[in-house]
Amino acid sequence: MQPEQADLSQVLTDDDVLRFLSRNPEFFVNNQDILPRLRIPHETGSAVSLIERQVSVLRGKCGTLENSLRDLIGVARENESLHQRLHVLIQEIISARNLNKIVDLTRASLQQNFNADDVHLLLFCTEPKKPAVRKRTSAVSAAKSATKAAPRVRTQKPIEGTQIVPHDDSALELFSELFANAETICGLPSEEQLSSLVGQDHSDVASAALIPLQHERPLGVIILTSRDESRFASGKGVMFLNHLGQLLSRRLATYGTILPVTVA
């Protein structure tokens, strides 16, 4: 409390308030917002006045509405801040030059902005293209072609927190419902799904969010895990996660060939 406030409370008396109200009879008309906070007894003996009861109920509702409004304002500010951070992330993902950078940006942002303890990705290799049918060549041309060095097959280096599996891997069946719904699912995944995404050591996962990545075909799955069972409980809002999943799906679809990981 500031010194001037302490002095004022000591000097101001009931008579001072009465004189002020007498000189300003329109005070409560001009300041009606203070009325619900005042306690004005209505003498009715041992019975409770209906008016007093109504005022008490209205005061309680007013307090509840004020708290709700305060909470809504807080959520709106948090969502606005999150929207701005995701906007920056989207710009960085669009301009990322390689798959490693895309994954690193995504994992770091999800851990920071959604309070995830860990983030894992499961990506499906790009389906190999069918070889083009070539016309029959002469024996001389075939001999020249045979002497050329065979092209070196590129492979994708390992990426932290990411698995890259064949495009027809059995994991597709595990997440068929996720791809069918085409939206983020919160809750606790099955043992098989957790093992596929996180590995065998997943006993500390209490809740998770699964984000499908697909554009014309399944591209992969992102999982956000938490040791808090309420963090990604079923029924949580997933609007921002859905938007991010859709953006990532488009980026991966236009990225190019996703190759298998190099095995050391």
DSSP-derived secondary structure for 166-188: -TT-THHHHTHHHHHHTS-EEE-
Two tokens at 124? Answer: 């499906």
**Band of residue 49 on the pLDDT scale cut at 50, 70, 90:** low
Residues 188 and 214 in one domain: yes
Q: What is the mean pLDDT of residues 3-27?
A: 73
Residues 236 and 202 in one domain: yes
Residues 121 and 46 in one domain: no
Residues 105 and 182 in one domain: yes
Task: Give me the pLDDT at residue 184, please.
Answer: 93
Residues 41 and 90 in one domain: yes
Q: What is the mean pLDDT of residues 167-187?
A: 90
Number of domains in the chain: 2
Residues 102 and 230 in one domain: yes
pTM, rounded to two decimals: 0.63
Task: Give me the pLDDT at residue 214, please.
Answer: 92
Asked whether residue 81 carries a pLDDT value surpassing 60, the answer given is yes
More confident residue, 158 or 244: 244
User: What sign has the CA pseudo-torsion 162, 166, 172, 173?
Assistant: negative
Task: Give me the pLDDT at residue 179, please.
Answer: 93
Q: What is the mean pLDDT of residues 31-37?
A: 74
Last residue of a domain, one of 95, 116, 137: 95
Asked whether residue 12 carries a pLDDT value surpassing 90, the answer given is no
Beta-carbon contacts of residue 211 (< 8 Å; ≥ 6 apart): 184, 221, 222, 223, 224, 241, 242, 244, 245, 248
Last residue of a domain, one of 95, 111, 144: 95
Residue 177, domain member (yes or no)? yes
Adjacent-strand bridge partners of 222: 121, 211
**Band of residue 41 on the pLDDT scale cut at 50, 70, 90:** low
Residues 167 and 235 in one domain: yes
Task: Give me the pLDDT at residue 221, please.
Answer: 94
Domain that holds residue 73: 10-95
Residue 186, domain member (yes or no)? yes
Residues 103 and 42 in one domain: no
Contact 218, 124 (CB under 8 A): yes
DSSP letter string over 49-68?
Answer: PHHHHHHHHHHHHHHHHHHH
Residue 4, domain member (yes or no)? no
Task: Give me the pLDDT at residue 26, please.
Answer: 84
Q: What is the CATH number of the domain that holds 176?
A: 3.30.450.40
- DSSP state letter for 217: S
Average of per-residue pLDDT values in the chain: 78
Residue 135, domain member (yes or no)? no
Last residue of a domain, one of 95, 114, 142: 95
Residues 82 and 179 in one domain: no
Least confident of 22-36, 99-113, 192-206: 22-36
Residues 184 and 68 in one domain: no
Question: pLDDT for 141-169, tens place per residue?
Answer: 555 554 444 444 455 677 888 888 888 88
Asked whether residue 112 carries a pLDDT value surpassing 60, the answer given is yes
Residue 118, domain member (yes or no)? yes
**Helix H or strand E segment including 116:** none
Asked whether residue 208 carries a pLDDT value surpassing 80, the answer given is yes
Asked whether residue 14 carries a pLDDT value surpassing 80, the answer given is yes
Residue type, position 138, single letter:
S
Residue 102, domain member (yes or no)? yes
Distance CA 235, CA 102 (A): 28
Question: pLDDT for 214-236, tens place per residue?
Answer: 998 899 999 999 999 988 988 77
More confident residue, 120 or 239: 120
Two tokens at 160? Answer: 């932290």
**Band of residue 264 on the pLDDT scale cut at 50, 70, 90:** very low
Asked whether residue 46 carries a pLDDT value surpassing 60, the answer given is no
Distance CA 6, CA 12 (A): 10
